[in-house]
Amino acid sequence: MGLFDNIDLGAILDDAEQKTDEKLAGQISSLTRMTDGEIKELFPEAADAKKLVELMKIVKSAEDRNTKINNITANSEKFAGIVVTLLGKFV
């Protein structure tokens, strides 16, 4: 019998993932007009929330408008789902 046989590693990882997702949602909501709940509802997957953060960094950067547009265009496939989700919230 091994030392880790009685440990539910899956449960530990699930708990850590949930806490990370909640922390990320809290950080995003502090930068937007959306609540933690809205962030979690719109972007339940941490990977999507991270893409939202990347997109927000571009939009909030000190770069000029054309540079921002070029950066978003260069990552358009990555950001497409995020843009659709955000516009779906407002349209």
Closest by CA to 40, choosing from 18, 13, 59, 55, is: 18
Model-level pTM? 0.64
How many CB atoms sit inside 10 A of residue 60's CB? 10
Instruction: Tell whether 4 is covered by a domain.
Output: no
pLDDT, one tens digit per residue, over 7-59 is 565 665 566 566 666 766 666 666 667 787 888 888 888 889 889 889 988 98
Tokens of 40: 């979690």
Better-scored residue on pLDDT, 78 or 43: 78
Instruction: Tell whether 65 is covered by a domain.
Output: yes
The parent domain of residue 50 ranges over: 9-90
Instruction: Tell whether 3 is covered by a domain.
Output: no
Instruction: Tell whether 2 is covered by a domain.
Output: no
**Number of domains within the chain:** 1
Closest by CA to 44, choosing from 84, 5, 91, 82, is: 82
- End-to-end CA distance of the chain: give it in Å, rounded: 58
